[in-house]
Amino acid sequence: MQVEETKLSGCVLVTPKIFADERGYFMETYRESWMDSLQDFSGNFVQDNQSFSHYGTIRGLHFQEGEHAQAKLVRVLQGTILDVAIDIRQNSSTFGSHIAVILSAENKQQLWIPKGFAHGFSVLSETAAVSYKCDNYYNKEAESGIHPLDETLNIDWQIPTEKQRISEKDLLLPTFNKPNK
């Protein structure tokens, strides 16, 4: 496994070692010993989530607050996404900054997103299946988010405006300058 630091402290791109031959390939998608060096890992994952989406879908920007905050290890099982993480840690030197990385079934990379980040993605392929491990359980009362089209963040989702599919719930999220709690 190769771990590549991003411009956001603690947020890293993980590239697994692939063993390929004429039959196909094998790879480890998770090993606890990999995680030892990563920031804000609680020591175990307690919930796995999976979504399936069509081209143009933008999901996010989501996070959980307080003791229910979640760190995530995100990967794509089928298709291609633009995965986005935003540093919302107010005492961080990169507060308000974001990264956007291409994750795909082809490149097999994963993004480690520690607690204190908002997360979202857009689907760049016809369809995409996304899986992510969480180190804390989902808690509806702790659910929060930022409007995905927030002008301050100015995220290029790489989807033309007329093709964007965003849930009504996400369109009602507050802007970055006006958090909702």
Q: Which residues are catalytic?
A: 62, 132
Beta bridge partners of 156: none
What is the rounded CA–CA span in Å between residue 157 and residue 142? 26
Q: Which tokens go with 142?
A: 């702790």
**Cis omega (within 30 of 0) for bond into 61:** yes
Cα–Cα nearest to 87, from 111, 109, 67, 113: 113
What is the rounded CA–CA span in Å between residue 110 and residue 97? 20
Residues ≥6 apart with Cβ < 8 Å to 153: 61, 86, 96, 98, 146, 176
Q: Would you say how long the chain is, in residues?
A: 181
Edge-to-edge strand ranges of the sheet holding 12-15: 2-5, 12-15, 110-113, 72-78, 127-134, 47-54
